């Protein structure tokens, strides 16, 4: 009631107030309120309109986002019925990451499912992935040819091996290359860097120098042809001639085998022929020569010149028609080029025909170690020192044991001569037992676990405890293995003994284990002579040398810059051979102790030797001979570094552009990679391996992204399909079979010829009567004396003559004296035989 009363009062007051207002103020107030309300209404309408527009835009944006999301969520690897460049690159990258070609589709679908992506079509199958890899290799060939054309020059590296009875050759080139980075001008040479490009691993009919040379010619022609027919060459407005490869080649890096040096000589002669013919062609084009002079040169060309130039017989030359004019042009260019070439200065001639041989530093060290060990082996007979215990194989060991009661037995002599001993043989046996190259044989894991635990317990050493890879003949493996045996001889002996004791037939040793235990117990073979010398050479020379010459992929070492160290090596080894005691003297300065003047890389080596070297009376003699032999080896295998040698004769222009890899690791390692690849991909080929590796190692994907437009992609796809149907593999197999048949036929002919010769010799020996009359011997001619010597040597097996060579019995006087001496030994032998016979009969 109180509230109602109050409201009634307020209502009355309001009525009173309304009555008190005049009509004009009422109208003004109402109009003002109306305008305010209209303004508010208009503002509300505008806000409503804006919200409606925002809603429409939001709806359109949402629709577009949903459409874009669906487009992004759905990936179509195909365009116009073929896989896109991005899909092909993805397939190659997955294979590079380790995915097998048959699992690429599964990997792509699994990743797409995890990322919420839908693939519009099926992805590549195994065959198509293989095609994509081959296309990457074809891009790589175009890239290589273009880089060779642009580079001022390059160095070729090559090596070969056999895989499952088939010869394969590996080739690399080292040159300046662009980065292919986006936004970088590849024509700006300041952005280029030196890189080693993989070229190929290719099968070959054999590993002769001529086959290696022909393989390089075939590879160079293929690169030139692939690039010259490509749209990129049309864009660059140039082509690559097949001889441009040789014009740009400045040097070769190989090992020191005879076939490699012969192949280098063939390459050098081929390049010189190309350069001289270029000079002759340029002279004719520049009208430097009179027409009459050219005509006279043409008239002076004979059929013999054409036969020599084309390596043809007379009948083959007569059968030529179109090729004859080309051959005539080549001979004419060579004649005119020789005239111009002779007018050049020696420096100009050297610059024009730059072709330098660079021997692999790792092979140098490997060969030098062999020479040093061979020098040590000669020590025993010269100084009458007991030779190391003989480590014969099972067959020879049986013969030696059976013939031990007959020292003069021919079987015993043959078995001893066929057997080996010494440090190298011992290390090979230990490597075969503790780290065999066949992963299914040997005690690799047991050795690693045992040595790790024992080294940690006894010496507090935490290091890789695998035995050095002697079984695979790795660089420096023998010196590292020798150091391992020197430092941990007792542990290795304990390990081998434990292996023998833990067998089912405990205590039974196979022949390898028996020889290892025998060798470790031999004072001449174990750590006490050859192994110590081998380890000391490794720590003093070999290991510092390998560290100095082996660079990294980013910072390769140029062989041309290693002249000083190679000239120091023979002097350093000679000094130690003349002063062998300094290598174990604790006060020896480091610059006299190691090649690089730094402490030994193996801290335990010298302390281990100090503990027992006084028990070895011949240790310094062996060390001296080891280093003396190595000094001779370094002199022999470093001719390019000698004063006045190849590198001293280089001109400043040649030095500015020559970058020769110090080692041939690239080609050696690639052959090993090929073996591993074929082990896990038995159906693969050298060509598919080369295509995949070329794409992976040569930065080819960056090249494709920068230069691989639709035209080049179409060209590459067409070329790959053409190669697949070319039948090259079939042709090679037939050629290889023909070569093998010829080898077999030649072998049979040689064997038959040898058998015929042997029979004729046997008949002649049977028809030759042994002459014991001194007067008749004195009147014999050289031929008759040789027949008498043959009877003593080959029939009666005279102990003196069997050790001599025919070249040492060439003069009449020498032959007569030898016959007379052999006569005396024969009469003595007959007398002893008669005496023994009488003794037996009595």
Nearest to 686 by CA among 695, 698, 697, 677: 677
Q: Is 596 helix (H, G, I), strand (E, B) or coil?
A: coil
The percent of the chain in helix, strand and coil, each rounded to the nearest 5, is 70, 5, 25
The burial class, CB within 10 Å (0-12 / 13-18 / 19+), for 231 is middle
Angle formed by the axes of helices 104-115 and 85-96, nearest 10°:
110
The pLDDT, as a whole number, for residue 412 is 59
The pLDDT, as a whole number, for residue 624 is 94
Report how far residue 474's alpha carbon sits from residue 476's, in angstroms, rounded to the nearest whole number: 6
10 Å Cβ neighbour count for 724? 14
According to DSSP, the β-strands at 249-254 and 154-163 are: parallel
Q: Is 663 helix (H, G, I), strand (E, B) or coil?
A: coil
The pLDDT, as a whole number, for residue 803 is 82
Report how far residue 430's alpha carbon sits from residue 316's, in angstroms, rounded to the nearest whole number: 59
Query: By the 8 A CB rule, do 253 and 661 touch?
Result: yes
At residue 175, φ and ψ (nearest 5 deg) are -160, 175
Report how far residue 474's alpha carbon sits from residue 494's, in angstroms, rounded to the nearest whole number: 26
Report how far residue 202's alpha carbon sits from residue 308's, in angstroms, rounded to the nearest whole number: 30
CA 364 to chain centre: 15
pTM of the model: 0.84
Element (H, E) at 62: helix 23-73
Write down the H helix ranges in 300-390: 303-310, 314-319, 322-342, 346-352, 361-377, 379-383
Strand spans (E) along 334-461: 356-359
DSSP letter at 792?
Answer: I
Query: By the 8 A CB rule, do 232 and 710 touch?
Result: no
Q: Is 645 helix (H, G, I), strand (E, B) or coil?
A: coil
Nearest to 123 by CA among 152, 159, 84, 160: 84
Contacts of residue 826, defined as CB under 8 A and 6 or more positions apart, other chains included, come to: 770, 772, 792, 796, 798
Nearest to 470 by CA among 485, 459, 455, 456: 485
Output the 3-class SS for 389-409: CECCCHHHHHHHHHCCCCCCC
Element (H, E) at 742: helix 728-767
Query: By the 8 A CB rule, do 280 and 386 touch?
Result: no
Residue numbers of the chain with a pLDDT score lower than 50:
none
Q: Is 252 helix (H, G, I), strand (E, B) or coil?
A: strand
DSSP letter at 720?
Answer: H
**Size of the chain in residues:** 842
Cα radius of gyration (the chain): 42
750: left (phi over 0), alpha (psi -120 to 50) or beta: alpha
Nearest to 231 by CA among 715, 703, 721: 715
The pLDDT, as a whole number, for residue 614 is 81
Nearest to 264 by CA among 213, 217, 311: 213
Contacts of residue 447, defined as CB under 8 A and 6 or more positions apart, other chains included, come to: 434, 435, 465, 466, 467, 495
Q: What is the pLDDT of residues 664-716, one digit of tens each?
A: 889 989 999 999 999 988 889 999 999 999 999 999 999 999 999 999 999 99
Query: By the 8 A CB rule, do 261 and 255 touch?
Result: no
- Exposure string for 642-679, b = 16+ CB within 10 A, e = fewer: eeeeebeebeeebeebbbbbbbbbbbbebbebbeebbe
Contacts of residue 783, defined as CB under 8 A and 6 or more positions apart, other chains included, come to: none
Nearest to 640 by CA among 132, 339, 264: 264
Query: By the 8 A CB rule, do 126 and 205 touch?
Result: no
Angle at the Cα of 84 (from 82 to 86), degrees rounded to 5? 155
Please, which residues bridge with residue 237 across strands?
Answer: none
Element (H, E) at 200: strand 193-204
Element (H, E) at 174: strand 166-177
Q: How far is CA 659 from CA 557, 643, 668, in A?
A: 8, 20, 19
Q: What is the pLDDT of residues 312-356, one digit of tens each?
A: 777 777 777 777 788 888 888 888 888 888 888 888 888 888 899
According to DSSP, the β-strands at 166-177 and 193-204 are: antiparallel
10 Å Cβ neighbour count for 139? 29
Nearest to 445 by CA among 495, 512, 380: 495
Query: By the 8 A CB rule, do 184 and 191 touch?
Result: yes
């Amino acid at each position: 009631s109180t509230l109602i009363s109050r409201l009634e009062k307020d209502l009355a007051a309001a009525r009173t107030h309304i009555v008190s207002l005049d009509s004009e103020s009422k109208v003004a107030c109402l109009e003002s309120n109306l305008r305010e309300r209209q303004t508010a209404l208009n503002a509300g309408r505008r806000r409503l309109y804006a919200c409606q527009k925002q809603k429409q835009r939001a709806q359109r944006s949402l629709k577009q986002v949903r459409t874009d999301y669906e487009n992004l969520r759905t990936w179509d690897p195909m365009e116009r019925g073929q896989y896109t460049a991005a899909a092909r690159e993805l397939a190659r990258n997955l294979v590079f990451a380790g995915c097998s070609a048959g699992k690429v589709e599964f990997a792509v679908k699994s990743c797409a499912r995890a990322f919420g992506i839908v693939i519009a079509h099926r992805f590549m199958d195994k065959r198509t992935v293989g095609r994509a890899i081959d296309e990457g290799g074809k891009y790589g060939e175009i890239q290589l040819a273009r880089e060779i054309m642009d580079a001022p020059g390059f160095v070729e590296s090559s090596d070969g091996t056999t895989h499952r009875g088939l010869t394969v050759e590996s080739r690399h080139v080292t040159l300046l290359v662009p980065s292919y980075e986006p936004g970088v001008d590849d024509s700006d040479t300041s952005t280029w860097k030196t890189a080693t490009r993989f070229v190929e691993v290719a099968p070959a009919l054999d590993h002769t120098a001529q086959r290696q040379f022909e393989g390089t010619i075939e590879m160079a022609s293929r690169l030139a042809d692939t690039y010259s027919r490509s749209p990129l060459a049309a864009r660059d407005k140039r082509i690559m001639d097949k001889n441009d490869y040789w014009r740009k080649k400045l040097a070769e890096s190989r090992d020191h085998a005879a076939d490699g040096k012969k192949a280098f000589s063939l390459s050098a002669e081929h390049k010189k022929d190309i350069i001289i013919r270029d000079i002759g062609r340029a002279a004719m084009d520049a009208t430097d020569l009179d027409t009459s002079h050219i005509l006279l040169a043409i008239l002076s060309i004979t059929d013999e010149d054409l036969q020599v130039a084309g390596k043809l017989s007379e009948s083959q030359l007569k059968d030529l028609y179109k090729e004859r004019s080309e051959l005539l042009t080549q001979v004419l260019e060579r004649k005119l080029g020789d005239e111009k070439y002779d007018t050049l200065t020696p420096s100009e001639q050297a610059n024009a025909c730059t072709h330098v041989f660079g021997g692999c530093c790792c092979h140098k060290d490997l060969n030098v170690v062999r020479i040093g060990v061979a020098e040590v082996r000669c020590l025993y007979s010269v100084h009458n020192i007991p030779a190391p215990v003989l480590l014969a194989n099972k067959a020879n060991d049986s013969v030696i044991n059976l013939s031990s009661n007959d020292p003069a037995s021919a079987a015993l002599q043959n078995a001893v001569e066929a057997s080996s001993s010494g440090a190298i043989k011992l290390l090979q046996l230990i490597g075969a037992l503790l780290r065999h190259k066949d992963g299914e044989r040997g005690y690799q894991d047991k050795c690693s676990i045992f040595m790790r635990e024992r080294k940690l317990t006894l010496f507090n050493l935490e290091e890789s405890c695998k035995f050095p890879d002697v079984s695979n003949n790795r660089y420096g493996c023998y010196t590292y293995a020798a150091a391992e045996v020197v430092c941990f001889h007792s542990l290795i002996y304990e390990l081998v003994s434990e292996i023998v004791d833990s067998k089912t037939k405990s205590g039974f040793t196979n022949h390898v284990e028996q020889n290892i235990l025998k060798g470790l117990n031999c004072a001449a073979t174990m750590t006490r002579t050859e192994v110590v010398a081998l380890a000391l050479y490794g720590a003093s020379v070999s290991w510092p040398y390998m560290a100095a010459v082996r660079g990294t992929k980013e910072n390769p070492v140029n062989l041309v810059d290693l002249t000083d160290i190679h000239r120091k090596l023979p002097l350093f080894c000679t000094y130690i051979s003349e002063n062998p005691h300094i290598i174990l003297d604790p006060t020896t300065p480091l610059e006299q102790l190691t090649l690089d003047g730094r402490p030994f890389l193996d801290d335990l080596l010298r302390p281990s030797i100090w503990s027992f070297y006084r028990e070895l009376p011949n240790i310094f003699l062996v060390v001296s001979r080891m280093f003396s032999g190595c000094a001779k080896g370094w002199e022999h295998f470093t001719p390019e570094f000698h004063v006045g040698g190849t590198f001293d004769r280089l001109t400043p222009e040649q030095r500015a552009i020559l970058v020769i890899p110090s080692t041939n690791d690239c080609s050696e390692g690639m052959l090993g990679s090929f073996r591993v690849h074929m082990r896990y991909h038995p159906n693969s080929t050298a060509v598919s391996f080369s295509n995949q590796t070329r794409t992976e190692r040569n930065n080819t994907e960056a090249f494709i992204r920068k230069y691989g437009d639709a035209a080049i992609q179409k060209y590459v796809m067409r070329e790959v399909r053409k190669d697949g149907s070319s039948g090259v593999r079939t042709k090679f197999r037939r050629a290889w079979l023909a070569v093998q048949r010829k080898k077999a036929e030649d072998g049979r002919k040689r064997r038959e010829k040898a058998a015929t010769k042997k029979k004729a010799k046997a008949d002649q020996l049977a028809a030759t009567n042994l002459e014991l009359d001194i007067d008749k011997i004195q009147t014999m001619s050289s031929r008759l004396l040789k027949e008498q010597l043959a009877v003593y040597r080959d029939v009666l097996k005279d102990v003196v003559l069997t050790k001599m060579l025919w070249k040492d019995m060439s003069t009449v006087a020498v032959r007569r004296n030898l016959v007379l001496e052999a006569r005396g030994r024969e009469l003595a032998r007959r007398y002893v035989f008669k005496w023994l016979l009488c003794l037996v009969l009595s």
